[in-house]
Structure 1
Amino acid sequence: MKKTETQKQRRRAVHAYALLFFVLALGSASAEKKMNILFLLTDDQAYRTLGITGNDQVKTPNIDRLGQHGLVFDRHYDTTAICMGSRANLMSGMYEYKNGCNFDHGAMGTKQWSTSYPALLKEAGYRVGNAGKFGFAVKDNRNVDQRGIEGTGVKETFDVYLTKGGQCNYTTAKNKDLGTYEKENPHLTQALAAASIDFMRDAVEEGRPFCLTVGFKAPHKPLEPDPQFDHIYKNTIWKKPGNYGREAGLHLAEQSRQDRQYKRYWDEAYSTDEKYQSTLRKYHQLIYGVDVAVGKIMRGVEELGIAENTVVIYSSDNGYLLGSHGLGGKALPYEEGARAPLIIYDPRSPKRGTMRRTTSLTGNVDIAATILDVAGVGIPDVYDGKSLLPIVADEHSKVRETLPIIQVFGQEGTRCLSVINGEYKYIYWFYEGEGMKATEELFHLTKDPLEMTNLASNPEAQPVLNKMRKEYDDQVRRWAEQTIDYNGYQEYGVLLDRQVDWEIKARLIPEKDAKYIPGTKTF
């Protein structure tokens, strides 16, 4: 029987609709595969400040739960252990000498910002947000005007950009754009939780995948914890680590004692038992507030029905010395200052819900690459960071063998470069002014986690020392080859070189009156 023209048209229409449905279904499936990313970043949180990282005096059930269902990274380091430089590393995926941003140096250029994870995710159609501390400057030229902190193009990258680029204030009312949260959440930490939930809800209603970076100020100074939690550690008597105090730092390089980490912070916060107990009580109370906020945010994820397609990353921009070796603050490459917590929860992992840990070496530069990988966005060749998803899939795998820890901030005497391979750490202090001599330090981290024995002069450790020297020299060579040619980074290709005489280096030392970026004196 011959088909009429009408029947043919009807059949073509059916085929067309079927094809359209198939295309739409593919698009829908593709959209469903887009993962949301929630990056929770604290400020100045030492590695051993969570129950899940071995502290039996703290109460951090919500953060611990993330680790119990995800993966805890036990060898995670901030490659620049100071907030401005570290946050630039985190977002750019590049080492400091390539992104060009830190105190005493200057702002990140728009070229580096253009390949940051917020910028690339915005291009990929993500709803991108920053709530809380941003923490570094971005400018669009090399003639850096250091009066600005947010810089050209940063706000435009974010669909939602709450508070400001520099330090936030613990009083919600004193933070830009958070006034609507003041009544129910007078303390910033809880206000950020409420703002995060609103951001995620809006993204769900828009039907867009999101990437939200939550920059908690806690537990950064000034130590102003939420008074509703005053009872939590009221009667806690904090233990002191085995490397606590000035005597536990006498074996370290003299250069480590040349700046505020030794000269000021110890006296302010740790020099007496009364100061120590008060400091630790407030510090951990701030972290407890973060834990409560994390609990709220994760409940929000569940209630919004996005738990199955939301990857959660929890970390800190640097550690905190807390009196170890008679030091306070951060910046220095010792474990307490440079090592930080890292937890990744990926609901796609077949191992989720199983408590897992990894000793694979990772750095803060790896966060950006990981976020892009989660989103299915290509990782730029310029990145130093590596995606950590292979380790999330198999905690025994590795993405790197070594990692540099860069310290070119503050007093000249404390500037140095360190290389770590997970088992050993090598530090080279190049400064020889004021009667000091260039000094090497070598620590066996797995046997000496408190870094109480410098093996650099131990004859039995010479094979390891030579190996680590080579790794160090390789890092210096990469620095010299890849550094930007402004913001004072080129000089360090020479300053850090073990083979160059001090007489030559002394001519390259930065001006002693280098200023911090105005408006960011507390960091």
Structure 2
Amino acid sequence: MLLFILSQAELKSAEPARPNIVFLFADDQSTYSVGCYGNKDVKTPNMDQLGRDGVIFDKHYNTTAICMASRASVFTGMYEYKTGCNFSHGDMHEDVWAKSYPVLLREAGYLTAFAGKFGIVVKGKGLCAEDFDFWGGGPSQTNYQTSKNKSMQKYAAQYPHSTLSYAAFAQDVIRESVERKKPFCLSISFKAPHKPATPDPQFDDVYAGKTFTKPANFGREFGEHLSFQSKSGRQYPRFTEWNYDTDYDGEMAKYHQQVYGIDVALGMILDELKAQDIADNTVVIYTSDNGYICGSHGYGSKVLPMEESSRVPLMIYDPRSPLNGKQMRCDRLTGNIDFAPTILELAGVPVPANMDGKSLLPLLQNPRVGGHEQMAFINVFGPLPTHSLSCLTARFKYTYWWYADDKMKPVEELFDTKNDPLELTNLAISTASQEVLQEMRKRYDQELSKWNRQAVDYNDYQRYGNLFRRK
């Protein structure tokens, strides 16, 4: 009996501990703000190292490019029409939140922590602070001034700018979780680099006097082929309103300085994992809620389906992956709906059938097999003409601009994002691309059919099943 008990104890001790999970989320960070995505003008040493140590994802999209809807999709693993949550539409319902990854992980015994911009409101619950063991979150956009974020005020003296305060919060969560000997899921939602641009002044020298290389599709002349519908929102005038046309270097210096602050915060968090001797059992995920258009095609901001706003950086380091240190990149199609199932699988928690995403963990074993064959990209925010549905594959992006009035008619856009990543040639009007166009139309119709079958019956999501029809 004694030998049996000892053998069982030995087997139990040999079982791998459930990994800790660190999910880091920037706000409005584009791929061209990160060195490992090809920009030689920027300094992001910790992000670049995270990419070298783990896997860099080159075809990662947000299924919406506006913060509230994107965050709802991240929490729940579902498309926006199933979360029922976005500005001007309405709040998330409690039954949807009940199947979010923070709730499910806490029920499974994880310590859960959140700091930063929560981004959503749950009907009847508000910010859901009571659903976390550690809370540093805030409502709406939060504030760059740490002292004005109620749940973060204790960090204000040492870290007056909020970006590094979130790293300090993370360090405290890591230490206390180690002391309690429990696995944790730490979610940090940075305010940076969201406008109004407010860089941490201690980093003013990083890009002082810097001249930045403009993207090859910069300027209004490279947007003439884009739909009139996309020009009817605030993204088009912000090219001039935000001075991209007249002070590109000044605007980008502030933008990249804010990202540099996040990079420093990332370094602080990684250092604490090493100091607590848990880096070998902690998965780190870094991404953004949407990208950002800083003058490409003569637009600014986000929301629209163009690459600069819909595609975002994603780097994942899992210490158990055989790919670590091999500087691997993944070109399979992935999206923000994939984070919830990924985090749940990491924790050994069953993935609810309602989730639309797929776990990214298989891609950390083989980055060439897996991901999505197609995904939807959604915008139902802002002026009605800009509302649209797109269908993405690993190579093509098809958008149907349905809105019509006396100034514009419905149009199609089809881009080969593999061979034309700057989206300079609309293949929808090319006679040589009609076969591809027909295939993408079918895929688009499939995504719209899912919308019709699965959209919530509240917050004004049902009508788009009719508006977005191609016929």
Range of TM-score over shorter length: over 0.9
CA distance in structure 1 between the aligned counterparts of 2:235 and 2:118, rounded to whole angstroms:
24
Matched, 1:177 2:188: no
Superposition TM-score, scaled by structure 2 size? 0.98
2:90 partner amino acid: G
Structure 1 match to 2:242:
269
Q: Is the 8 A contact 1:426 1:441 kept in 2?
A: yes
User: Which has the higher Rg, Structure 1 or Structure 2?
Assistant: 1
Matched, 1:112 2:96: yes
State the Cα distance separating 1:65 from its structure 2 match: 0.3
Structure 1 match to 2:310:
338
CA distance in structure 1 between the aligned counterparts of 2:141 and 2:331, rounded to whole angstroms:
33
Q: Is the 8 A contact 2:55 2:323 kept in 1?
A: no
| Residue range with higher mean Cα deviation, 459-468 or 399-408 | 399-408
Number of matched pairs: 471
CA distance in structure 2 between the aligned counterparts of 1:205 and 1:21, rounded to whole angstroms:
27
State the Cα distance separating 1:433 from its structure 2 match: 2.5
In the alignment, which of 211, 221, 230 is matched to residue 195 of structure 2? 221
CA distance in structure 2 between the aligned counterparts of 1:430 and 1:294, rounded to whole angstroms:
42
Secondary structure of the 2:292 match is coil
Q: Is the 8 A contact 1:130 1:158 kept in 2?
A: yes
Structure 2 match to 1:278:
250
State the Cα distance separating 1:390 from its structure 2 match: 0.6
Matched, 1:33 2:17: yes
1:330 partner amino acid: K
Structure 2 match to 1:463:
435
Structure 2 match to 1:369:
341
Q: Deviations over 1:165-219 (max 9, x none)?
A: 3212111111112122112111111111011010011111001100000101110
State the Cα distance separating 1:248 from its structure 2 match: 1.2
State the Cα distance separating 1:163 from its structure 2 match: 3.1
Q: Is the 8 A contact 2:244 2:294 kept in 1?
A: no
Structure 2 match to 1:409:
381
State the Cα distance separating 1:60 from its structure 2 match: 0.3
Secondary structure of the 1:395 match is coil
Q: Is the 8 A contact 1:71 1:392 kept in 2?
A: yes
In the alignment, which of 21, 29, 33 is matched to residue 45 of structure 1? 29
Structure 2 match to 1:300:
272
CA distance in structure 1 between the aligned counterparts of 2:52 and 2:257, rounded to whole angstroms:
22
Q: Deviations over 1:422-462 (max 9, x none)?
A: 11110001111242111100011111111011110111100
State the Cα distance separating 1:20 from its structure 2 match: 5.0
State the Cα distance separating 1:266 from its structure 2 match: 1.6
State the Cα distance separating 1:139 from its structure 2 match: 1.0
Q: Is the 8 A contact 2:103 2:131 kept in 1?
A: yes
Q: Is the 8 A contact 1:75 1:422 kept in 2?
A: yes
1:126 partner amino acid: Y
Q: Unaligned 5+ residue runs, structure 2?
A: none
2:104 partner amino acid: L
State the Cα distance separating 1:272 from its structure 2 match: 3.1
| Residue range with higher mean Cα deviation, 466-475 or 108-117 | 108-117
In the alignment, which of 60, 77, 93 is matched to residue 61 of structure 2? 77
CA distance in structure 2 between the aligned counterparts of 1:352 and 1:218, rounded to whole angstroms:
28
1:202 partner amino acid: E
Query: Quick one: structure 1 residues 450 and 270, their matched pair in 2 at CA, closer, same or farther if it must change by over 3 Å?
Result: farther
Query: Quick one: structure 1 residues 162 and 18, their matched pair in 2 at CA, closer, same or farther if it must change by over 3 Å?
Result: farther
Q: Is the 8 A contact 2:292 2:308 kept in 1?
A: yes
Structure 1 match to 2:134:
160
Q: Is the 8 A contact 2:245 2:295 kept in 1?
A: no
Structure 2 match to 1:502:
none
Structure 2 match to 1:91:
75
CA distance in structure 2 between the aligned counterparts of 1:451 and 1:357, rounded to whole angstroms:
22
Matched, 1:200 2:174: yes
Matched, 1:359 2:343: no
CA distance in structure 1 between the aligned counterparts of 2:74 and 2:7, rounded to whole angstroms:
40
Structure 1 match to 2:391:
419
1:253 partner amino acid: S
State the Cα distance separating 1:23 from its structure 2 match: 5.0
Secondary structure of the 1:38 match is strand
Structure 2 match to 1:445:
417
State the Cα distance separating 1:28 from its structure 2 match: 4.5
CA distance in structure 2 between the aligned counterparts of 1:66 and 1:356, rounded to whole angstroms:
11
Structure 2 match to 1:130:
114
Q: Is the 8 A contact 1:413 1:433 kept in 2?
A: no
CA distance in structure 2 between the aligned counterparts of 1:308 and 1:441, rounded to whole angstroms:
46
CA distance in structure 2 between the aligned counterparts of 1:107 and 1:454, rounded to whole angstroms:
36
State the Cα distance separating 1:157 from its structure 2 match: 1.4
1:272 partner amino acid: D
State the Cα distance separating 1:352 from its structure 2 match: 1.1
Q: Is the 8 A contact 1:270 1:322 kept in 2?
A: no
Secondary structure of the 1:313 match is strand
Structure 2 match to 1:259:
233
Q: Is the 8 A contact 1:361 1:400 kept in 2?
A: yes
2:250 partner amino acid: S
State the Cα distance separating 1:79 from its structure 2 match: 0.2
In the alignment, which of 283, 291, 294 is matched to residue 319 of structure 1? 291
Matched, 1:212 2:186: yes
Secondary structure of the 2:293 match is coil
State the Cα distance separating 1:245 from its structure 2 match: 1.2
| Residue range with higher mean Cα deviation, 154-163 or 292-301 | 154-163
Q: Is the 8 A contact 2:32 2:39 kept in 1?
A: yes
State the Cα distance separating 1:273 from its structure 2 match: 2.8
1:242 partner amino acid: A
Secondary structure of the 1:204 match is helix
2:239 partner amino acid: W
Q: Deviations over 1:64-119 (max 9, x none)?
A: 00000100000000001100000000011000000111111111111111111001
State the Cα distance separating 1:29 from its structure 2 match: 4.3
The sequence identity of aligned pairs, in percent, is 49
Structure 2 match to 1:476:
448
Matched, 1:379 2:363: no
State the Cα distance separating 1:270 from its structure 2 match: 3.2
